[in-house]
Amino acid sequence: MIKSQCLDIKSLEERAMVIRRHVVRMLAKAGSGHPGSSLSTVDLLVALFYNKLRHNPQQPAWPDRDRFVLSKGHACPALYAVLAENGYFGVDKLDTLRQFGSILQGHPSMKITPGIEISGGSLGQGLSVGLGIALAGKLDKKDYRTYVMLGDGELAEGQVWEAAMAASHYKADNLCAIIDQNGLQIDGFIHEIMSSYPIPDKWRGFGWHVIEIDGHNYKAILSAYDEAEKIKGKPTVIVAKTIKGKGVSFMENQVDWHGKSPSKEEAERALAELK
């Protein structure tokens, strides 16, 4: 039942390259979607799904599985690619992203995609769902853990802080938030549009254990996941500094690549870099 491959860092980096290539191809094929937002999450997702989560792709509803909630649902191309590479569904399905009749909707749909824990797309809602899952785990005396990934722009949603307060109040130490702090939101840089900084201080103020890392450094990511698991009596947040569009030079840190799919030529240039 328990699946956690524990790959070495070099293998994880290789997987990440495969995932990033999928993301670029999927979005080029779909003709729409969010490349920048997807690419910044890849290393955090790869480390989690290959080395940390207890899950069983053959039995997505296994009651004792660890849960992952993608609160920044628009980054689902990266999650879909990770799920496919883990065996939740065929890699061939990735080509159908955002098409009519596809199991891969533009934003996550738990009713049609294996491995999706909750439907998403509307920002600000995932941490509350993760809290509910964590509370159920405590009630049922199960030791599964729940991870929720949020964006740094998403932190402007008031509901995130409602959830942060409640998770701390209920001492949800089986809950781990991961913030993909790529410094950008749709309309521009976080500090220009609506600053959520300083992010760590806010979470500390809400009673969370805070770990700050480089979200593209596997050693740091893995040790943060391990540390989070050991913290008792309070939830943990991993504030991961990332680069939006990571891996494709012309997309990196560019506001324009939030929600624009690459043309055929751009995709080829991107794939040439992702080797």
Partner 1 sequence: MTEMIATRQAYGDALVELGEKNKDIVVLDADLSKSTTTAKFGKKFPERFFNMGVAEANMMNTAAGLATCGKIAFVSSFSIFATGRAWEQIRNTICYSGLNVKIVATHSGVSVGPDGASHQCIEDISLMKTIPTMTVVEPCDAVETRKSILAAVAHKGPIYIRLGRAAVPVITKKEDPFSIGKASALRNGKDVAIVACGALVANALTAADMLSKEGIEATVVNMHTIKPIDREILVKVAKQVNAVVTAEQHVLDGGLGSAVATVLSGNYPVPVEMIGIDNRFGQSGEPDLLFKEYHLLPEDIVLAAKRAVGRKKK
Ligand X SMILES: Cc1ncc(C[n+]2csc(CCOP(=O)(O)OP(=O)(O)O)c2C)c(N)n1
Binding residues (CB under 6 A) for ligand X: these are: 37, 40, 72, 74, 121-124, 151-154, 180, 182, 184-186, 244, 258
Q: Write the DSSP symbol of residue 186.
A: S
Query: Closest separation between CB of residue 37 and ligand X, Å?
Result: 3
List of residues contacting Mg ion (CB under 5 A): 151-153, 182, 184
Query: Which residues contact residue 3 at a Cβ distance below 8 angstroms, ignoring those fewer than 6 apart?
Result: 53, 54, 55, 56, 57
Query: Closest separation between CB of residue 72 and ligand X, Å?
Result: 5
**For residue 242, which of 268, 223, 217 has the smallest C-alpha distance?**
217
The three-state (H, E, C) secondary structure of 15-40, written as one string: HHHHHHHHHHHHHHHHCCCCHHHHHC
123 binds, among partner 1, ligand X, Mg ion, none (CB under 5 to 8 A by kind): ligand X
Cβ 98 vs Cβ 104: under 8 Å:
yes
Query: Bridge partners of 146?
Result: 67, 175
Residue nearer to Mg ion on the CB measure, 105 or 185: 185
Query: Closest separation between CB of residue 135 and partner 1, Å?
Result: 6
118 binds, among Mg ion, partner 1, ligand X, none (CB under 5 to 8 A by kind): partner 1
φ/ψ bin of 171: left (φ > 0), alpha (ψ from -120 to 50), beta (otherwise): left
63 binds, among Mg ion, ligand X, partner 1, none (CB under 5 to 8 A by kind): partner 1
Distance CA 178, CA 72 (A): 11
Distance CA 36, CA 261 (A): 9
How far are the Cα atoms of 77, 115, 143, 167, 172 from residue 140, in angstroms, in the given order? 32, 21, 9, 17, 14
List of residues contacting partner 1 (CB under 8 A): 63, 109-111, 117-122, 124-126, 128-137, 139-140, 158-159, 162-163, 165-166, 169-170
253 binds, among Mg ion, partner 1, ligand X, none (CB under 5 to 8 A by kind): none
Preceding amide of 57 cis, omega within 30:
no
Chain-centre distance for alpha carbon 123: 13
Chain-centre distance for alpha carbon 76: 8
Residue nearer to Mg ion on the CB measure, 151 or 247: 151
111 binds, among partner 1, ligand X, Mg ion, none (CB under 5 to 8 A by kind): partner 1
Residue nearer to Mg ion on the CB measure, 134 or 238: 238
Query: Closest separation between CB of residue 242 and Mg ion, Å?
Result: 8
Query: Bridge partners of 69?
Result: 148
Exposure b/e, 248-264, CB count within 10 A at least 16 = b: beebbbbbebbebbbee
Residue nearer to ligand X on the CB measure, 149 or 211: 149
Query: Closest separation between CB of residue 247 and partner 1, Å?
Result: 30
135 binds, among ligand X, partner 1, Mg ion, none (CB under 5 to 8 A by kind): partner 1
Residue nearer to partner 1 on the CB measure, 118 or 213: 118
Query: Closest separation between CB of residue 124 and ligand X, Å?
Result: 6
Residue nearer to partner 1 on the CB measure, 87 or 132: 132
Per the structure block, which two tokens stand in for 231? 């913290």
Residue nearer to Mg ion on the CB measure, 51 or 185: 185
